[in-house]
Amino acid sequence: MDETKHVKIQDMDVEKSPISQETEDNANVNELALELAKNVVTTAVKTVEDAENPIKNINWITHGEFTAERGRKQIEEFVLTWEYQDCWVHCTEFIEREDLVHSYHYIYCVHWSNPTANIPIAQVSASAYFTIKITKNKPPDMPIEVSYIFEGLSLVHRPGQTRFREKWLRDTIEAKNILMESIPFFNCV
């Protein structure tokens, strides 16, 4: 009985002709080539879009030139390169300096709000938190390291590598407004 099963399996393998195997291989190659072509076209389109509208950055100061106030001014200069509607206002403030083993981290907050004629003082704001890392053992002519995150989001951005999206601010403000509407205290005010 086992021999019959074994022969049946062998029969199936023998019946598979080289032509059907070749057709299957061609289908796999064609599928792979199509996927590769799609990826190439997508990358090419992105490259052309980036060339027409490059991600903006500034020339950051060096370790030797750095002060907390110069860092704040550089962040302000960098934020001004972002594209956003005129209705947004922002301010940049120095929060704190963290003394770590091999570096100092200078933390800044850029507060964003969208005041209107009906509500000139916004009830909620969105924030972007910048960290300027000053490494203790780097030479003074090395540029500072900058990273930033947006409130409520976990992706760490680096200047010149990510295009700013106004949607990040709108989503944060909208989430806070929904939260405030759900709390009875804020509905009476």
- Residue ranges of domains in the chain: 2-50, 68-188
- How distant is the alpha carbon of residue 27 from its chain centre? 37
- Does residue 148 contact residue 154 with C-beta atoms inside 8 Å? no
Residue 189 has pLDDT above 80, yes or no: no
Find, among 133, 137, 113, 116, the residue nearest to 124 by Cα.
113
Residue 133 has pLDDT above 70, yes or no: yes
Find, among 157, 136, 173, the residue nearest to 78 by Cα.
157
Find, among 169, 146, 168, the residue nearest to 89 by Cα.
169
- How distant is the alpha carbon of residue 87 from its chain centre? 23
Q: In this predicted model, what pLDDT tens digit does every residue of 16-62 receive, in sequence order?
A: 555 666 777 777 888 888 888 888 887 777 766 666 778 899 999 99
Can you spell out the DSSP letters for 67-102?
-HHHHHHHHHHHHTTS---TT-EEEEEEEEEEE-SS
**How much of the chain exceeds pLDDT 90, in percent?**
58
Beta strands 126-135 and 145-150, pairing class: antiparallel
pLDDT at residue 16, rounded to an integer: 52
* Average pLDDT of span 86-107: 96
pLDDT band at 14 (very low <50, low <70, confident <90, very high): very low
* Average pLDDT of span 54-80: 95
- For residues 186 and 81, the model is more confident at 81
Q: What angle do CA 126, 83, 144 make, to 5 degrees?
A: 75
Residue 109 corresponds to which amino acid? C
Ramachandran region, residue 125 (left: φ > 0; alpha: ψ -120 to 50; beta: rest)? beta
* Average pLDDT of span 114-131: 90
Question: Average model confidence (pLDDT) for the chain?
Answer: 85
* Average pLDDT of span 130-139: 95
Residue 10 has pLDDT above 70, yes or no: no
- How distant is the alpha carbon of residue 80 from its chain centre? 18
pLDDT band at 104 (very low <50, low <70, confident <90, very high): very high
* Average pLDDT of span 130-138: 95
> Rounded distance, CA 137 to CA 121, Å?
45
